[in-house]
Amino acid sequence: MSRWLILAGMAAFLAAEAARAGDAAAALADPLKLDSGLISGAACAKGDVRVYKGIPFAAPPVVGFRWKPPQPVQPWDGTRACVEFRSWCPQPKPLMGKELGPLSEDCLYLNVWTPALFVNRRSDRLPVMVWIHGGGHTTGSGASPFYDGELLAREGVAVVTINYRLGPFGYLAHLLLSKESEQGVSGNYGLLDQIAALKWVQRNIAAFGGNPDCVTIFGESAGSASVCRLMISPLARGLFHRAIAESGGAHGGNRRLREALPRLEPMEKVGETLAAKLGCDGEKDVLAALRAKSFQEILDAASPSQGLFGKGVKFGPIVDGWAIPSDPAALFRAGKQADVPFLAGTNADEGTILLQQLPIKRTLGYRLLLGQMFKEDAPEVLRLFPAATDDEVPKALSRVVSIAAFVGPARFLVRSMEPMKSKAYLYHFTRVPPIESARKLGAFHALEVGYVFGTIEKRPEIEAKDRALSKTMRAAWARFAATGDPNGPGLPPWPAYRKEADEHMEFGDEVRAKSGLWREACDLFDRIALKREVADAEP
């Protein structure tokens, strides 16, 4: 082929690309019409993805709206520029010492990334993925750079990341708050925020090219626990069509509104204690006095705990008989969860970060802790996870926490889906990338999130296999969002979970299906969880 023909071909190619870019720019220039008004966004660096940041999905929950269900957004005139992230819910400094964004109770905003050419289209609707961030129901934000949705959107999905109220702002209950509620309950405001965001998606996502009939909720840690609670909440039915739970389940921390548990006092009692600490309990209008306090005063008095072993008050979703009818794990066990395609999994070293709060270093302390955690079952746990010397304690304890609190509960979730029409899929993430934190902590809690979103690719020290793994995981997650099945062209075969085969997909140095992940230990921890479930249900 002559040099001139080659140049002519290149010119034609560049002209076509320019025309396509022009079409994209034209699509991007128009403001989008939402039910609350017009908005504009911005193009990401390559111009093929459009991002809209800081879109309000509920009214600011401040002053009289503090500790009330999310209220409708006030419509606006003109075009609202949605080009900057908004505030994070007030929170303490997180465990890993990450930087926080600006803090404000005016935090009920979401962000959308969508392929530019799909904006304003009325056909070829995109699957929608709604991300619920982690942070122990106490820290975090959908605006974190870790959750940048650009690369995931390039897989052909509309990505939504949301904020919700946290800690004492999202999950505080009080008898007087329950009395002013039409349902006679209080707390769960953070969960109600998530539901309000899903309702916003139903009303508005079509403007971004998204399909409101193909919505996947996905989250990690507390976000994954939230996914599980949305699965059993009657208030969330019909608002999503697939679900992904990453390193968080239905067990644990399920406080009751008015009933005490062996390990947890009722949440209405927590609210009374907070009111007394703030000196509001003797006021004529206790709620007005509480709502007049600054968010920093509330945070300081509430002392919200973080992690599995943090000191302070444990805030999170509450069994209130309305948003959460009864114990979530019991509802999963009884088959009362939403019958939607479900994907769940864990990381190999979930416990390493969380155990920084619990410096157990000697065999005696290890045995005492197992006795405290597992009572009469402690000898069996010790048999499966022995530590003959002090040097063996950290690894043994990390494995106990990883499997008891994460791997076992994830297997429980997918097993609970077996009687249903929808299929479930189990995964285990084992890749240890060449970054400093992973060298110390292994495949630690939340590490997989960077691979799902592709933000791990911003790390200069990662290897080609990390980029390939991220691409595979993004494609599998997007395929699942589109079809309810993570299998597709170019993806490794991922068998649906069946108890007999006990198969899972390993995402590590290799990506392959395996079976029998910590089977004996998971059987043990499932029996222990069932005993606790039964004990908690007893009057």
Q: Locate 524 and state its tokens.
A: 């043990």
* 117 DSSP 8-state letter: G
In angstroms, rounded to a whole number, what is the distance separating the alpha carbons of residues 215 and 531? 35
Q: How far is residue 482 from each of residues 205, 215, 499, measured CA to CA in Å?
A: 15, 9, 25
* Number of CB atoms found within 10 A of residue 36's CB: 18
Catalytic residue among 150, 220, 350, 506, which? 350
DSSP 370-431: HHHHHGGGHHHHHHHS---SGGGHHHHHHHHHHIIIIIHHHHHHHHHTTTSSS-EEEEEE--
Q: What residues contact 184, with CB distance under 8 A and at least 6 apart?
A: 178
Catalytic residue among 272, 445, 470, 504, which? 445
In angstroms, rounded to a whole number, what is the distance separating the alpha carbons of residues 452 and 441? 19
Q: Locate 401 and state its tokens.
A: 């926490």
**Residues β-bridged to residue 347:** 429
Tell me which amino acid residue 193 is.
Answer: D
Decide: helix, strand or coil at residue 186: coil
- 445 classed as catalytic: yes
**Residues β-bridged to residue 342:** 243, 424
Q: Locate 508 and state its tokens.
A: 């590590």
* Number of CB atoms found within 10 A of residue 4's CB: 8
Q: Which of 195, 203, 186, 190 is nearest to 236 (CA)?
A: 195
- 221 classed as catalytic: yes
- 104 classed as catalytic: no
Catalytic residue among 221, 224, 247, 402, which? 221
Please provide residue 441's backbone torsions phi and psi, each rounded to the nearest 5 degrees: -115, -5
Q: Which of 303, 334, 347, 315 is nearest to 517 (CA)?
A: 347
Q: Which of 298, 319, 170 is nearest to 250 (CA)?
A: 319
Q: Which helix (H) or strand (E) holds 437?
A: helix 436-441
DSSP 141-179: -TT-GGG--HHHHTTT-EEEEE----HHHHH---HHHHH
Please provide residue 209's backbone torsions phi and psi, each rounded to the nearest 5 degrees: 90, 5
Q: Which of 72, 85, 77 is nearest to 112 (CA)?
A: 85
User: Beta strand 158-162 with 210-220: parallel, antiparallel or unpaired?
Assistant: unpaired
Tell me which amino acid residue 394 is.
Answer: P
* Cβ atoms 424, 414 nearer than 8 A: yes
Q: Which of 222, 155, 168, 158 is nearest to 194 (CA)?
A: 222
Q: Which of 64, 61, 164, 66 is nearest to 109 (CA)?
A: 164
* Active-site annotation, residues: 221, 350, 445
